[in-house]
């Protein structure tokens, strides 16, 4: 059977699909509900060995990916931004599906690495903890704002005694404090699970040997990096985290551009760790302060984060603990 190439544009309620042959002739093109039965009907009479299917790495890709892989089909995951850049201003569901199939056929599909199930679970857990912390911080700001609006003076706000006193005085503030306590409890429970995982994995214990990296940050860094072997050099890892600017070059024209197709979670966590590492380790202090003097704190902090990622690449590649030099 002739090899076929498929593209699926994913939405909450429906999928748009396009299948074409080796010459680019469209053999099938439909929109159908986002369900396993509908996918089976769309791909009827096409054996799993006869087609490769491309989908975009949107927020809903996992469900469709699982349906297709459970059916035995080979699936490629595409970078949505780079796919849209290639598609220029054409933007409809059918066009998206057709472009995915065409890029796959011509071997120009901007592929994204697909993590295994365990890596996805670790990512979900670490990101969930981070989101809980951010929600808790938002509620804390709401409580402070409410107290200031009411003209209530407060000292050490986040101890149990102060919170219980405030809750008795005002029903509205009690509701916010209840939300805060609930988020705090959930965050503590998730953190307990993270610590248990981080302390029992070789890779996370390696990462924790570096100053500035603890249980949570080690698990998030490991989960966001995934398989270190997919990065051929430290530069590729740094680029993946978006800690170096891209370059636009045309003839004699050259300028730096911001690279937005990066792993923002990895960029965030390694930047946070760099601040702690600067306080704890003399090696990073000697690197940070000369750059800060010349170019400012933000540039120096970013450079320190790059250095940390470079060291992490060698640590994970060689399976060695951090060595201060």
Digit-coded pLDDT (tens) for 201-242: 999 999 999 999 999 999 999 999 999 999 999 999 999 999
Q: Are residues 265 and 127 in contact, defined by beta-carbon separation less than 8 angstroms? A: yes
Digit-coded pLDDT (tens) for 5-61: 999 999 888 999 999 999 999 999 999 999 999 999 999 999 989 999 999 998 889
Distance, CA of 140 to CA of 251 (rounded, Å): 53
Q: Which helix (H) or strand (E) holds 272?
A: helix 264-280
Helices (H) and strands (E) in the chain, counts: 13, 7
pLDDT for 116 equals 93
Digit-coded pLDDT (tens) for 47-100: 989 999 999 998 889 999 999 999 999 999 999 888 887 776 555 556 789 999
Measured in degrees and rounded to the nearest 5, phi and psi for residue 324 equal -70, 135
- At what angle are helices 264-280 and 215-225 packed, to 10 degrees? 140
Would the pLDDT of 137 be above 90? yes
What is the mean predicted confidence (pLDDT) over 110-128? 94
Q: Which helix (H) or strand (E) holds 248?
A: strand 246-250
DSSP state at residue 111 = B
Dihedral over Cα of 214, 215, 217, 218: its sign: positive
Domain locations in the chain as residue ranges: 4-105, 117-198, 206-318
CATH architecture of the domain with residue range 4-105: 2-Layer Sandwich (3.30)
Distance, CA of 8 to CA of 3 (rounded, Å): 17
Q: Which of 186, 59, 178, 176 is nearest to 129 (CA)?
A: 186
Residue 279, classed as helix, strand or coil, is helix
């Amino acid at each position: 059977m002739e090899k076929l190439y498929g593209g699926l544009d994913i939405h909450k309620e429906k999928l748009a699909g396009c299948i074409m042959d080796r010459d680019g002739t469209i053999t099938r093109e439909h929109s159908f509900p986002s369900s396993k039965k509908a996918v089976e009907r769309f791909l009827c009479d096409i054996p799993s060995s006869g087609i490769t299917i491309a989908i975009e790495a949107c927020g809903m890709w996992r469900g469709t990916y699982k349906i297709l892989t459970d059916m035995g089909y080979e699936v490629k995951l595409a970078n949505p931004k780079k796919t849209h850049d290639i598609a220029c201003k054409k933007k409809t569901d059918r066009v998206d599906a057709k472009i995915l199939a065409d890029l796959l056929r011509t071997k120009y599909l901007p592929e994204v690495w697909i993590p295994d199930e365990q890596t996805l679970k670790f990512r979900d857990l670490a990101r969930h903890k981070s989101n809980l912390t951010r929600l808790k911080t938002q509620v804390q700001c709401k409580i402070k704002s409410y107290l200031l609006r009411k003209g209530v003076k407060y000292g050490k706000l986040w101890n149990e005694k102060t919170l219980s006193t405030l809750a008795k005085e005002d029903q509205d503030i009690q509701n916010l404090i209840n939300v805060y306590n609930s988020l705090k409890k959930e965050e503590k429970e998730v953190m307990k699970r993270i610590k248990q995982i981080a302390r029992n994995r070789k890779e996370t214990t390696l990462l924790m040997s570096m100053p500035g990296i603890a249980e949570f940050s080690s698990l998030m860094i490991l989960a966001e990096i995934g398989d270190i072997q997919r990065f051929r050099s430290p530069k590729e890892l740094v680029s993946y985290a978006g800690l170096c600017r891209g370059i636009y070059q045309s003839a004699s024209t050259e300028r730096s551009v911001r690279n937005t197709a990066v792993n923002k979670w990895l960029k965030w966590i390694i930047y946070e760790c760099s601040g702690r590492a600067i306080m704890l380790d003399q090696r990073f202090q000697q690197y940070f302060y000369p750059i800060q003097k010349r170019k400012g704190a933000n540039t120096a902090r970013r450079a320190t984060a790059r250095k940390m990622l470079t060291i992490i690449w060698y640590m994970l590649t060689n399976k060695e603990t951090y060595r201060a030099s």
